[in-house]
Structure 1
Amino acid sequence: MIACTLHRQDALVASFAQWIAGARPRTLPNAVAPVVAGTGAAAWLHAAVWWKALLALVVALAMIIGVNYANDYSDGIRGTDDDRAGPVRLVGSRLATPRAVLTAAVVFLLVGAAAGLALSLVSAPWLIAVGGICIAGAWLYTGGSKPYGYSGFGEVAVFVFFGLVAVLGTQYTQALRVDWVGLVLAVAIGALSSSVLVANNLRDIPTDAVSGKITLAVRLGDARTRLLYQALLATAGVLTLVLMLATPWCAAGLIATPLAVRAAAPVRAGRGGRELIPVLRDTGLAMIVWAIAVAIALALGS
């Protein structure tokens, strides 16, 4: 338990529940959905390997929690988290020291690296290099002297790492090849994952602009960011129809449509601040439901 094992001098007043909140549980669908989708793509090729899927899930969950703590640390020491409407910021809210949060980030990233190393060794050793790039991308998102998350490239990184890499990597480690179905799934999950970050950054436009964090949302402005969010959701809907070319069972993915509509409602209505917090939850829920439905459809239709 991170809260218990950190050195006494590093702990301030953060409770276990606050450490859990600091891990940002609402972002976990971004880790689970690509593994589910990638496993569905492997099942389509009659090559699903469930223990590899579980190992990939460990990698994804550890990485995203590590990324979230790393972001908390980096944003906190820069002072960009001092006035936010979103979830708990451990450093920005003075609930834990930067050293404690950095330690948590490193622990989870190391767990992800170890699981990724094991998965690569039993699948394709060249994937170790891909894992190294992913870890570097996780840190440099808000860390380092020129974090790319402060320059409007966060959504691109999420699309690549939690869409293309995560889905196709999961499929490849099990099937030892990828196909067009896996690619379509990867683009759809990448779009949905990016939409979560777009919603998050839409909420934070006022504070990010003041603190000098020039996200894509800050660059686009409020109105165009809202359109981008809806376009990303629509992309997943269109790609569901494309997947029906593989098997009509993939129409099951449309079961996520009501959830996506609910997620988009506050965005379309012009809501801001804390009123956008449920959008992250509902978008993540729509993404995980879509991934599960399509993965089952591919397994049944293979």
Structure 2
Amino acid sequence: MQPQTQTSSSPAVNNKNWRVWWQLTRPHTLTAAFVPVLLGTALAIQDTNIHFGLFFAMLIASLLIQAATNMFNEYYDYKRGLDHENSVGIGGAIVRHGVRAKTVLNLAFGLYGLSILLGIYICMNSSWWLAVIGLICMAAGYFYTGGPLPIAYTPFGEIVAGFFMGMLIILISFYIQTGTVSAVSILVSIPIVILVGAILLANNIRDLDGDKEFGRKTLAILLGRNGAIYLLAGMFIVSYTWVFILILMGYTSAWLAIVVISAPKAIKATKGFIGKTIPIQMMPAMKATAQTNTIFGFLLSIGLFLGYFL
């Protein structure tokens, strides 16, 4: 399919309308970057005094990379013809509001540049090996939807997103505070890996029919709609079970059991996909999936703080 070309008939974006630019960052996805940084820092507080300069630098850098990744997604979905004015989803700055595609791409690279500056500060106060890891994370964000074979078009999108946006951010956040990576930090990161992957799976369940038409081979397409919903439910179950296993084995405080408060969101997310085939009908389930990750991660962090202070 030939890339779409913007014409003079495209709606002109009002540069004073900050909501258009805010929407371009896909703000409700940014918690996927905030939660791992908070969790990694909560883990570190048990071993050291927190360096708040490093915490905020890591937080802002992660948010910038996440926002840039969303913009790459917006740009390449437009260029490949996946986005149009009637598309259902969180994108639309290009096709609905007339933002120039090149502007979106340049802005994404600009955010990457800012994150590199923050990364230099982080490396100066921890280890320069993190520069290599950071560049790999940025490459993963770009190639998720960019390049000749986007990761998002393969069955590995959930795994890649979970690893880079879940485990790696948690471990880096822990490392810059403590100078090491512990077995507990790895074990506690596993549920977040799964739940970040669940967000991508939920997105692919919603877009299953459209993705199939464009030749994508996502995990949801390979498993089929019902199989993907069963997998989503299983991911939720494993995430909660994993926390209780860590508690029973003595790796973490019993306070981490507070994550059960987020279980109704997981149930709502799973039920919201059952029997649905129209994308707009599945938007509440997608939202509930993202909220599950956010609330679960916050509660996990709170549990760690309570276990330390009480």
One-letter code of the match for 1:263?
A: A
Separation of aligned partners in 2, 1:146 and 1:203 = 21
Which stretch shifts more, 200-209 or 85-94?
85-94
| 1:13 counterpart = 2:19 | no
Task: Say yes or no: does 1:251 pair with 2:264.
Answer: no
Contact 1:120 1:128 in 2 (8 A): yes
Indicate the larger mover: 211-220 or 174-183: 211-220
The CA deviation at 1:159 is 1.1
Shift of 1:202: 0.7
Select the structure that is richer in helix. 1
Identity over aligned pairs, percent: 27
Residue 128 (structure 2) pairs with residue 122 (structure 1) = no
1:144: which partner in 2?
147
Give the CA deviation at 1:280: 2.9
Answer with 264-273 or 242-251: which moved more.
Answer: 264-273
* Residue 269 of structure 1: how far off its partner (Å): 4.7
Note closer, same or farther for the CA distance 1:215–1:91 as it changes in structure 2 (3 Å cut).
farther
Q: Which residue of 1 aligns with 2:181?
A: 178
- 1:35 touches 1:57 (CA, 8 Å); kept in 2? yes
Alignment match, 2:3: none
Given that 2:20 and 2:97 are in contact with CA atoms closer than 8 Å, whether structure 1 keeps it comes out as no
Distance 1:271 1:33 in 2: 31
Letter in 2 for 1:141: Y
2:298 and 2:50 mapped to 1: Cα distance?
14
Structure-2 separation of matches of 1:177 and 1:146: 35
Letter in 1 for 2:298: I
1:260 to 262, 266, 271: 266
Distance 2:236 2:88 in 1: 23
Is this contact kept in 1: 2:39–2:301, CA < 8 A? yes
Identify which of 133, 136, 148 aligns with 1:133. 136
Structure 1 residue 94 displacement after superposition: 6.3
CA distance 1:171–1:220, shift in 2 (3 Å): same
Q: Counterpart in 1 of 2:302? A: 296
The unaligned stretches of length 5 or more in structure 2 are 1-9
Q: Higher Cα Rg: structure 1 or 2?
A: 2
| Counterparts of 1:275 and 1:115, CA distance in 2 | 40
Q: Does 1:85 align with 2:88?
A: yes
Give the 5 Å matches for 1:86-235.
86-93=89-96, 95-235=98-238
Output one character per residue of 1:129-158: Cα deviation in whole Å (capped at 9) or x when no partner.
Answer: 001111111111111122222122211111
Q: Which of 1 and 2 has higher RCO (CA within 8 Å, sep 6+)?
A: 1
Partner of 2:4: none
**Alpha-carbon spacing, 1:20–1:50, altered in 2? closer, same or farther (3 Å):** same
Unpaired segments ≥5 residues, structure 1: 1-9
Alpha-carbon distance change, 205 to 23 in structure 1, aligned in 2, over 3 angstroms: same
Cross-structure match for 2:288: 282
d(CA) in 2 for partners of 1:94, 1:296: 39
Aligned-pair CA distance for 1:100: 1.0
Aligned length: 293
